[in-house]
């Protein structure tokens, strides 16, 4: 197709280029990725505007254009999930409570060491627990605490945010919500 | 809370109301002791189960219950202590007893709230409870691959095919290789026919040795042997004569030619 130029007619063409790229990506595309589509002939504000328009274009259709930590992606609207799920009857096994609690501690208290996690949970951390989360690419080591033994500091990854449909950690439910009583000072 | 009341079954029967007595027989917990995520989880369960005020925990009762459960829970069927499970729970026992005994000490008049021996335990319990609820919340959130399906329309990846660049030197090099290989092949052919002549020379010598004198034409079986073999045979005879290994004789013109081993005797 002809390279779109700057005019109303061609901004529609550009929007369709974005749409095709996002629909075929299968993973989030960042603004930088999307700018490559136009070989540097588009400004960021224009791009953002087109993406907003695209979101509206799809409002009445089957997919949502959402923004997550690493960029933009199309995903099925939630009402279709129960149907689509039937195509994959083999559901992923649920994570154990130990895994989810460890993840919650890392998400809300990061960066933390294994010792920090053990202190909060009151039990030793099973290395398997950490490994499962690392393999899922939900957490990684971001450094070492400068104390004897230089323990690894764990934090959540952007992929974790992507998988939970979040743009940033601040979109997690606030931790205070979970406190059952006023914390004693 | 970790468990709703209706989740608790004692000997197969769902518990419908809280027991009047604070004390639950430890056997009731035995079955799912291992489902507790540790001492904090167990303590929280006991506190919430009995609607105890977490900010004013009756240490004596709690410690007593906790110890009873732990003593049951950390043993396997043969009553041996499961060490890996016991360590964390026993540490908590020690802490509970310490708090309890500190509370028995007479309080100084200027005792502040922060000096409550239970404060640290309460802080930890509350933090753990919040984390537990946060974990449930995270677990319930829709996730990619479970409740979220990412669109991925099929796209045939097409990449531009670049013509491969060829330098003149590459071409020359290739041609040299062809020549080299051709030469190698020719050489092989010569070698093979040479070997063949040598082979026939031996063959003829062996026959002459056994049969003494042989008529020339007998050595050529024109009916069964191909032309190539006949030529090689002839070359072999010439070679034998040249090397003085055989003697070729003829009585007169057009008479049969005879071959025999050239011996000095």
CB distance A78–B147 less than 8 Å?
yes
Question: What is the pLDDT of chain B when averaged over all its residues?
Answer: 76
CB distance A78–B142 less than 8 Å?
yes
Number of other residues whose CB lies within 10 A of the CB of residue B143: 18
Q: Which residues of B touch A80 (CB under 8 A)?
A: 149
Closest CA to B67 of B18, B37, B35, B100: B100
For the segment A8-40, what is each residue's pLDDT rounded down to a tens digit? 678 888 999 999 999 998 899 999 999 999 987
> Are the beta carbons of B22 and B61 closer than 8 angstroms?
yes
Mutual angle of helices B119-140 and B39-49, in 10-degree steps = 90
CB distance A120–B54 less than 8 Å?
no
Residue B166: pLDDT above 70? no
pLDDT of residue B14: 61
Output DSSP code: residue A112: B
**How close A77 comes to chain B (CA, Å)?**
8
Closest-CA residue in chain A for B137?
A173
CB distance B130–A121 less than 8 Å?
no
User: Averaged over B160-166, what is the pLDDT?
Assistant: 66
For the segment B196-229, what is each residue's pLDDT rounded down to a tens digit? 677 788 888 888 888 888 888 888 776 777 777 7
CB proximity under 8 Å: A 66-125 to B: 73-76, 78, 80-81, 84-85, 91-92, 94-95, 97-98, 100-101, 103-105, 107-108, 119-124
Query: In A28-174, where do the E strands start and end?
Result: 63-68, 71-76, 139-144, 152-156
Q: Which of B40, B126, B139 sits opposite A121 (nearest CB)?
A: B40
User: Averaged over A81-95, what is the pLDDT?
Assistant: 80
Q: Collect all residues with Cβ–Cβ distance below 8 Å to A80 and sequence separation of at least 6.
A: A62, B149
Closest CA to B61 of B21, B17, B22, B24: B22
Residue A182: pLDDT above 90? no
CB distance B131–A76 less than 8 Å?
no
CB distance B37–A121 less than 8 Å?
yes
pLDDT-above-70 percentage for chain A: 91
Residue B2: pLDDT above 50? no
For the segment A121-174, what is each residue's pLDDT rounded down to a tens digit? 988 898 999 999 999 999 999 888 888 999 999 999 999 999 999 998 888 888
A69, with CB counted inside 10 A (0-12, 13-18, 19+), is: buried
C-alpha B91/C-alpha B124 separation (Å) is: 14
C-alpha A181/C-alpha A158 separation (Å) is: 32
Q: pLDDT tier at A5 (50, 70, 90 boundaries)?
A: low
Phi, psi of A22 (to 5 degrees): -70, -35
Q: Which residue has the higher pLDDT, B146 or B189?
A: B146
Q: pLDDT tier at B120 (50, 70, 90 boundaries)?
A: confident
Phi, psi of A94 (to 5 degrees): -70, 145
> Are the beta carbons of A55 and A65 closer than 8 angstroms?
yes
Q: pLDDT tier at A185 (50, 70, 90 boundaries)?
A: very low
**How close A49 comes to chain B (CA, Å)?**
22
> Are the beta carbons of A166 and A66 closer than 8 angstroms?
no
């Amino acid at each position: 197709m002809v390279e779109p130029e700057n005019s109303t007619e061609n901004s529609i063409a550009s929007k369709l280029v974005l749409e095709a790229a996002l629909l075929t990506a299968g993973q989030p595309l960042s603004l930088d990725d999307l700018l490559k589509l136009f070989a540097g002939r588009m400004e960021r504000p224009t791009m953002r505007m087109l993406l907003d328009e695209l979101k509206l274009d799809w409002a009445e259709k089957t997919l949502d254009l959402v923004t997550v930590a690493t960029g933009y992606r199309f995903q099925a609207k939630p009402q279709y999930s129960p149907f689509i799920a039937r195509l994959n009857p083999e559901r992923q096994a649920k994570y154990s409570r130990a895994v989810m609690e460890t993840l919650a501690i890392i998400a809300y208290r990061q960066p933390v060491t294994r010792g920090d996690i053990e202190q909060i949970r009151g039990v030793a951390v099973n290395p398997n627990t950490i490994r499962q989360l690392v393999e899922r690419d939900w957490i990684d080591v971001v450094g070492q605490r400068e104390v004897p033994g230089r323990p690894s500091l764990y934090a959540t990854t952007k992929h974790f945010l992507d998988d939970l449909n979040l743009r940033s950690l601040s979109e997690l439910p606030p931790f205070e919500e979970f406190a059952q009583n006023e914390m004693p000072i | 809370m970790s468990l709703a009341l209706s989740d608790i079954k004692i000997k197969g029967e769902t518990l419908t109301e809280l027991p009047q007595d604070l004390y639950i027989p430890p056997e009731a917990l035995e079955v799912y002791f291992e489902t507790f995520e540790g001492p904090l989880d167990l303590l929280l369960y006991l506190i919430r189960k009995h609607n105890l005020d977490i900010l004013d925990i009756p240490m004596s009762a709690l410690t007593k219950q906790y110890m009873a459960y732990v003593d049951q829970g950390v043993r396997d069927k043969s009553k041996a202590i499961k060490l890996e499970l016991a360590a964390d729970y026993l540490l908590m026992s020690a802490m509970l007893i310490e708090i309890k005994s500190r509370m028995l000490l007479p309080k100084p008049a200027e005792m502040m709230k922060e000096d409550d021996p239970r404060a640290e335990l309460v802080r930890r319990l509350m933090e753990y409870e919040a984390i537990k609820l946060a974990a449930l919340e995270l677990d319930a959130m829709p996730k990619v691959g479970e409740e979220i399906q990412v669109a991925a329309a099929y796209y045939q990846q097409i990449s531009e095919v670049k013509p491969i660049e060829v330098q003149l030197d590459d071409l020359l090099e290739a041609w040299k290789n062809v020549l080299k290989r051709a030469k190698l092949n020719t050489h092989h052919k010569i070698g093979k026919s040479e070997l063949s002549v040598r082979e026939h020379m031996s063959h003829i010598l062996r026959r002459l040795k056994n049969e003494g004198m042989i008529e020339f034409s007998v050595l050529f079986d024109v009916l069964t042997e191909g032309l190539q073999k006949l030529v090689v045979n002839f070359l072999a005879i010439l070679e034998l004569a040249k090397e003085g290994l055989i003697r070729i004789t003829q009585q007169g013109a057009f008479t049969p030619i005879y071959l025999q081993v050239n011996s000095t005797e």
